[in-house]
Amino acid sequence: MPGVELTTAERTDLLRQLVAGELPDSRGRFGPFGGRYAPETLITALERLAEGVQRYLRDPAYQSELAAELKDWVGRPTALSHAPTLSRRWGVEVYFKREDLAHTGAHKINNALGQALLARRLGAKRVIAETGAGQHGVATAAACARVGIPCIVYMGAVDVLRQAPNVERMVQFGAEVVPVKTGDKTLRAAIDEAFRDWVSDPAGSYYLLGSALGPHPYPLLVRELQAVIGREARAQFIERTGGLPDAAFACVGGGSNAIGLFHPLAGDASVALIGVEAGGRSNKLGDNAATLATGRPGVLHGTYSLLLQDENGQVQETHSVSAGLDYPGVGPEHALLQAIGRATYTSATDDEALEALRECCASEGILPAIESAHALAGAKRWALANPGKKILIGMSGRGDKDMPTLSQVFGGARRILAEAGHE
């Protein structure tokens, strides 16, 4: 990996530390990655948040309230579903971890709820959030409504258009949705604007970051709140099959869904961990969001990780049919997992993801989010080369939000409307 050289001994020791819960370290480092790179005006707020994480994350009262809300309001544990038709077609036993069945329709609610409860304990007067596909925005809006804190959600103007159903959901939950018309008008621009807002009011605002990235302690906090996915899936898989999966797959943008699934499995050496990024239109820089495949180390949004940059170090615009994967960086724990060889990262193109979505719909009666469809595409490719195995796929969310995109791509509804005389 360019700029990152680790010896075999270093890789072994870093994996041991990760499994033992020793990473991130006190500086927020995951080996060479992570840390805290932030304006001086935010340091006090970040230190206060880090103290809150240490104080409350293991606090019995906080954990009890979070567990009760996850059960009664979110609907955890989510199901582990066998996919019989895909199993026959692919020649492996396929199981889905069904985060699409969680309240608000995706894994994002696990993190949003946990942070909203933390924000209330820290005395926040309002919550700021960013969103790409809209699922984090919806989850934040719902969680803030639940705990009684006003929230503002920043969303790229491009994503507002392609994720219109989620915009309406956020509004109905009482959130103020602010379209971001600067930069690339997608997730990166939304994060930029959310940080600007936070800088203007660090004492009264809580920034509810949606992925396992950003300055310390966010990668730690988001991982801990999302790890419920992997803990549940591991126990459910053992109960259902009598053992562990041979491989676990998850889509990767910033990486919160994937790290939630992967982290509890990192100590199980027999389980291959395979993340699937957005391959977009081509391998050309600017045509995809496959950061782990071609990225180089650098700092973005407060953390040192892998970024899609040009030869001058300028972070590049990205492309993906999936709004939730359209980001030029990745969480530092994923960068570490790749650097030490514990996880493998591949990609699926727009066309491959859309085809996987259609196959899942027609075969299993499940409409995955386009993000999740990338994991399906990567899993199918692996399955056809490894017959007879058992695989676990993180179904990060459902595809209701993607109807405008799917209607534009496939045109099924338009055709029927035309047949009905509504051209």
What is the rounded (10 degree) CA torsion for 367, 372, 373, 377?
A: -140
Residue 373: closest CA among 259, 276, 291, 228: 276
Instruction: State whether residue 337 is helix, strand or coil.
Output: helix
Pull the structure tokens for residue 368.
Answer: 């995955």
| CA 258 from centroid of its chain's CA atoms | 6
214 contacts 42 by C-beta, under 8 angstroms: no
Which residue type sits at 341?
G
Peptide bond into 179 cis (omega under 30): no
Exposure of 227 by Cβ count < 10 A (0-12 exposed, 13-18 middle, 19+ buried)?
middle
38 contacts 302 by C-beta, under 8 angstroms: yes
Residue 14: closest CA among 340, 267, 343: 340
**Candidates 97, 108, 390, 401; catalytic one:** 108
Q: What phi-psi label fits residue 104: left (phi over 0), alpha (psi between -120 and 50 degrees) or beta?
A: left
**Candidates 130, 232, 333, 371; catalytic one:** 130
Verify whether residue 396 is a known catalytic residue.
Answer: yes
Verify whether residue 108 is a known catalytic residue.
Answer: yes
CA angle 101, 102, 103 (to 5 degrees): 120
Pull the structure tokens for residue 194.
Answer: 């959310």
Distance between CA atoms of 8 and 4, rounded to whole angstroms?
13
178 - beta bridge partners? 154
Length of the chain: 423
| CA 307 from centroid of its chain's CA atoms | 16
Verify whether residue 130 is a known catalytic residue.
Answer: yes
Distance between CA atoms of 220 and 217, rounded to whole angstroms?
5
Known catalytic residues?
A: 108, 130, 396
